Structure 1
Amino acid sequence: MQIYVIKRLLSAVVVMWAVATIVFFAMRLIPADPAQVVLGDYASQELVDAFRQKMGLNLPIWQQYANFLAGLFHGDLGRSMVTNQPIAEQIFSVFPYTLSLALASLLVGAAIGIPLGVVTAIRRNTIVDSMGRIFALAGFSFPGFYLGILLLIIFSVQLKWFPVVHSVSEGGGILEHLHKLVLPAFSLGLIQAAYITRLTRSSMLETLSQDYVRTAHAKGLPKSVVFYKHALRNVLIPVVTAMGLYTGSILGGAVLTETVFSRPGLGKLLVGAIAQRDYTLIQSGVLMFAFVVLSVNLLVDLSYAFFDPRVKYE
């Protein structure tokens, strides 16, 4: 396994380098001058030249690229063009909120989608199956931000169970954080639950037709043992794989979800950077998203051996 992990880490480094290169040059292809955009149209030429020199924008493009890669190698993401604050501090101050939202939405999606997919597969062509498929179709049809607004109207405005503004205060206890995490997590998790339900149902139907399942029934094993111990364990591999691939969509959905719920996070920080044309913060935020997706995919691949002992990493 060690050799496999090392190879995956090396490939992840190559992917991160490719993403960093694409993002760096994509920012430079924008026709507007970053210094002019940040300082405004009425800034003097002397002020613009001083800003470009301070941020290194007056250097040749190849030298800017080399300095950018050298900074990444040393863990330095640079400084914000707007606030002149270290970007690493800004990102890591809000990243725990995005991480908790992503993990909570994954938990909600798995807790709802996997059992519902198993039940609909076991009770195929019944009213339970029909209701489960309707739920999955509805989940695919609802945009994340629209579902978030509906949840706010119902549970915050009407029922007043949750606050309308979901900003997290400093020093709040864990119960306060969890309380304000419920609606954003369900906003993302219900959509993922619909996807997991369909995938679990189709995988479970295929697994139930296998010979070893029929053999387990013939041996007289209880149905619960056959369904949830033998069949479900093989179903979890494609489901976990899909959940790992869906992480990118969750992070993308977190951008709108954090905005709708006024919740601090990496997505909201990135939206603000785009609005302010903070190019250095934008490229660092995109790199952080790419790093999270690569890390999750590696963890998913390593989890296969837990679900299926036959999997060997060679």
Structure 2
Amino acid sequence: MNNIIEVSSLKKSYGDVQAVKGIDFSVQQGTLFAFLGENGAGKSTTIDMLCTLLKPDGGNVTIDGFTLGADDEKIRNTIGIVFQDSLLDPLLTVHENLIVRESFYGKSRAELKQAVERAAAIVDATEFLHRAYGMLSGGQRRRADIARALVHTPKILFLDEPTTGLDPYSRRKVWETIKNLQTETGLTVFLTTHYMEEASQADYITIMGKGEILAKGTSIDLKQKYSSDLLKIKPKEKELLRAQFKQNQIMFQDKGETFHIPLTSTVEAIPLLKLYEDYIANVEVVNGTMDDVFIHVTGTEVQV
């Protein structure tokens, strides 16, 4: 699979502050790529440079074969951006907003109509296409925002925290839209989010901190490297099981009613359960999470 974004030695400073310190990463075409980092990590600065909104101090970036700094207009025609704060006019209908957006590309009336109808259909916005944007629910607005970014048929869609502030149902609808987009169009999605359960759905994840790339890999790879699974055991007789653990030199934590045993992988629980099954009243195996990964890599809690 080809890389549609290539970033090499990208730098940006604000006075004496190095916001981005010569970072390298790539994004494969057609994938869902999650770009994570705590506030102040340099994440937004990086995205602004990729989207031609901010000029880098150094480094090289190619997007769909175009060079940042030399082919910026072509890059802008290749990408779509959904900002955290909407750019649509609340007094206009969704249809009117999309027509205004698409008119920037010099298309005929027939081409405008076709492009707007296509974008609305992709994000399942047809039912509220002729309603004022300001009258829509949060989830509907976000789908309209995505439609706005799609009217010129980009190859890459940048989504800046697309579900922040939405209720669970609206978040699910937005994610259904994103997944359908990839399935139906082969679109590359560049995602930023503070919801780690969303990030775990990505094909590839890159974590940034203090202007540098701290970790990258698949969700499975990162969990395996930076988090641990946990075996929770509720004993029949607590002191009897404690004695067994000590006799066999099993590392555990006493959590009151349960004992917690860290695991490098879930399969490690199988021999332990067989060995101590006569002492166990109940058991639960908890997988490591992307929250664990984020905290381990950045040293900070996830902020939502």
When the two structures are superposed, what TM-score results if normalisation uses the length of structure 1? 0.23
More strand by share: 2
Which structure would you say has the larger RCO, counting Cα contacts within 8 Å and 6 or more residues apart? 1
When the two structures are superposed, what TM-score results if normalisation uses the length of structure 2? 0.24
